[in-house]
Amino acid sequence: MSRAAEITLYERDSAEKIPWPKTEDGRYAERFLRPMLEQSVEGFIPNVRTRLYVVQAGKQVLPVTLNEAEYGNSYVCSPYTHYVSYARQELHLIRSRAARVLLSGLLTVMGGLLKASRFNRTAHINNWMVSTNLYPSCSPDQLKAVAQTLKQRFPDYGLVLRSLNRTNHGELLDALVQEGFRLVPSRQIYFLEPSNPAAMNAKARWLVKRDYALLASSGYEVMDHDELKSADMPRLAELYRMLYLEKYSYDNPQFGEAFLELARTEKLLRFQALRSRKTGRIDGVMGYFCRNGIMTTLYSAMTPRCRRSLGCTGCCPRS
């Protein structure tokens, strides 16, 4: 059997035929993707309009999102939003007015050219529609076979894989380059290896101890995932909205109560929240997930009051 023959593509009409692997990655994929196939992606993430597929490669299943234009989409499915719309919103950070005007003009020209080239006509591979896509235990040959299959199925679409980096995905990147892919910069990322003593100097370790001491005296208690209930999801959605949408950008994926409730019940994310002992209100939350020894946060937000109580200097919602 050829490598291409080992790859099977499913969509909404054939979702019931997907042989979800009985592995940790396979069960996670089923819990995440089945509801979106049976209902709609927009029902969970309103600003992600896309056609969702599932590709099976051996014992791995990967989500594939297919788009035509959708220039108002969140950047997780729209290269145009990532490189043009989002960049335009960040121009206010540049102090020089002349530079802002110049860059705004360049973005306008670049945006027109990209639309003319149908820049958003793409198939995103392993696209979980979150800011950072973690990858399952997928071999370079499997990923190349997936790419070859999608090239044949969607010959007029650009193939995109986000969230790859040389530190974690060196072999995959080399295989994709051999397959004809080009490496395009996306954003800066930071790594922390908590299991490696050399990764944290004495000051960093002292800061961690200090943070635990501040938490103990802050008037807040930590709520673990299983302590959170359905009734808490509106507050978690509010904290997300105030920081990631209202303060940052509505081009971020607009996760609301429906997605967060799915994430809670199906444990797509692990939540930890900070609840005020005085008011009983949740004023801080972190949602994270892990795959193949890598952890990343979907979001982390707290109110200014909570931030001050903890002595933090990071980002927070306005209220």
Going by pLDDT thresholds of 50, 70 and 90, the confidence category of residue 54 is very high
pLDDT over 90 (residue 251): yes
Phi/psi for 302 (5° steps) reads -150, 160
Q: Residue 309's CB: how many other CB atoms inside 10 A?
A: 20
Listed in sequence order, the residues at least 6 apart from 80 whose beta carbon sits closer than 8 Å to its beta carbon are 71, 111, 114, 115, 119, 120
Going by pLDDT thresholds of 50, 70 and 90, the confidence category of residue 312 is low
**DSSP 8-state secondary structure symbol assigned to residue 77:** T
Residues forming a β-bridge with 158: 122
Q: What is the mean pLDDT of residues 162-187?
A: 93
* pLDDT of 289: 94
pLDDT over 50 (residue 315): no
Range of lowest pLDDT (4-8, 49-53, 81-85): 4-8
CA distance 228 to 260: 11
Range of lowest pLDDT (93-102, 195-204, 226-235, 270-279): 195-204
CA distance 47 to 41: 9
CA distance 294 to 190: 12
* pLDDT of 162: 95
Going by pLDDT thresholds of 50, 70 and 90, the confidence category of residue 4 is very low
Going by pLDDT thresholds of 50, 70 and 90, the confidence category of residue 120 is very high
* pLDDT of 316: 45
Q: What is the mean pLDDT of residues 228-234?
A: 97
pLDDT over 90 (residue 252): yes
The 10 Å CB-count burial string (b at 16+, else e) for 134-159 is: bbbebebebbbbbbbbbeeebeebbb
Is 27 or 189 the better-scoring residue by pLDDT? 27
pLDDT over 60 (residue 1): no
CA distance 193 to 42: 35
Is 110 or 203 the better-scoring residue by pLDDT? 110
* Sign, CA torsion 154/156/162/165: positive
pTM: 0.89
* pLDDT of 218: 84
* pLDDT of 2: 37
Going by pLDDT thresholds of 50, 70 and 90, the confidence category of residue 108 is very high
Residues forming a β-bridge with 65: 52, 124
Is 213 or 37 the better-scoring residue by pLDDT? 37
Mean pLDDT of the chain: 90
Going by pLDDT thresholds of 50, 70 and 90, the confidence category of residue 319 is very low
Is 287 or 309 the better-scoring residue by pLDDT? 287
Is 207 or 288 the better-scoring residue by pLDDT? 288
* pLDDT of 215: 83
